[in-house]
């Protein structure tokens, strides 16, 4: 065997080994997809954004992309305060947050069963009145005015209110009331929640969490619901 042939053979084997090693490294690397990138969200929100058994971590799947994007920006910029979320999003640019929002908005996952109420019928009745008719005397518009008669939200940035746990709804209404959760000015939710009493919050959380999902859970089309007041998160 000539030296030239031996060198050629060695080079061929080395190339094959190198190629195999590179292929193995490529196979071991996580796929460069949004689904892979948002796996950091899975432990709290589920691998497809469907939620988990934790009362305080909401479902993301199927919510309007504009709403999800607004919340990601709010966490990144500190308008919503939860240290793990603030830390994870601190350096992510707007286009990346939009891509995340669009990914979760496109996921259509099964909803959890509605909660079994543990409050009195009178409390549930108060919740139904507030959600469907509001309370004019206390300047509280009905939830249905903005979130739709089926409470499935409206594109591009008003979320549905179903499929959420009682404690989560109560916590978020409380955050709006006390200013620890804020949105773009004019902050319509902070205005509305500021008129709610503790009993109102309890009633709304109990009634909404016990509602079954409608056959079509999709948000209403943009502009299909007349807004009862100006809202920075959902410009007309």
- pLDDT tens for each residue of 106-132: 999 999 999 999 999 999 999 999 999
- At 27 the pLDDT is 58
Question: What's the predicted TM-score (pTM) here?
Answer: 0.84
Give the model's pLDDT for residue 31. 81
The pLDDT, as a whole number, for residue 10 is: 37
The reported pLDDT for the residue numbered 4 is 47
In words, the CATH class of domain 33-110 is mainly alpha
Among 3.90.1150.170, 1.10.760.10, 3.90.480.10, 3.30.1280.10, what is the CATH number of 121-209? 1.10.760.10
Q: What mean pLDDT comes out for the span 58-67?
A: 95
User: Which pLDDT band, with edges at 50, 70 and 90, does 29 fall under?
Assistant: confident
Other CB atoms within 10 A of residue 210 CB: 18
Lowest mean pLDDT among 30-39, 124-133, 153-162, 195-204: 30-39
The confidence score (pLDDT) of residue 234 equals 84
Compute the average pLDDT of residues 37-66. Answer: 93
Mean residue pLDDT of the chain comes to 88
- Among 84-88, 143-147, 228-232, the range scoring the smallest mean pLDDT is 228-232
Residue with the bigger pLDDT between 179 and 5: it is 179
Q: What is the CB neighbour count within 10 angstroms for residue 206?
A: 22
Helix (H) or strand (E) holding 128: helix 121-132
- Backbone dihedral region of 97: left (phi > 0), alpha (psi from -120 to 50 degrees) or beta? alpha
Give whole-number Cα distances, 118 to 121, 174, 209, 218, in Å.
9, 20, 11, 28
Q: Determine the Cα–Cα distance for residues 61 and 49; give it in Å rounded to an integer.
A: 5
Residues carrying CATH 1.10.760.10, the chain: 33-110, 121-209
13 has pLDDT over 60: no
**Cβ proximity of 157 and 233 under 8 Å:** yes
């Amino acid at each position: 065997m000539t030296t030239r042939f031996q060198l050629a053979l060695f080079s061929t084997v080395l190339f094959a080994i190198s190629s195999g090693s590179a292929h193995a490294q490529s196979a071991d690397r996580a796929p460069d997809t949004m689904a892979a990138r948002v796996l950091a969200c899975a432990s709290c929100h589920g691998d497809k954004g469907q939620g988990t058994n934790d009362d305080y971590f909401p479902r993301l799947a199927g919510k309007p992309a504009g709403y999800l994007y607004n919340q990601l920006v709010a966490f990144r910029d500190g308008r919503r305060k939860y240290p793990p979320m603030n830390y994870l999003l601190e350096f992510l640019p707007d286009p990346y947050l939009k891509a995340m929002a669009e990914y979760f908005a496109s996921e259509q996952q099964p909803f959890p069963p509605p909660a079994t109420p543990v409050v009195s019928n009178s409390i549930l009745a108060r919740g139904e009145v507030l959600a469907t008719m509001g309370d004019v005397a206390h300047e509280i518009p009905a939830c249905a005015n903005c979130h739709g008669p089926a409470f499935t939200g409206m594109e591009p940035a008003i979320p549905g209110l179903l499929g959420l746990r009682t404690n989560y709804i109560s916590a978020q209404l409380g955050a709006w009331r006390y200013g620890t959760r804020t949105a773009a000015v004019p902050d319509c939710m902070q205005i509305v929640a500021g008129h709610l009493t503790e009993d109102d919050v309890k009633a709304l959380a109990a009634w909404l969490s016990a509602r079954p999902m409608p056959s079509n859970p999709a948000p209403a089309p943009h502009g299909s619901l007349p807004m009862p007041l100006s809202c920075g998160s959902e410009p007309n």
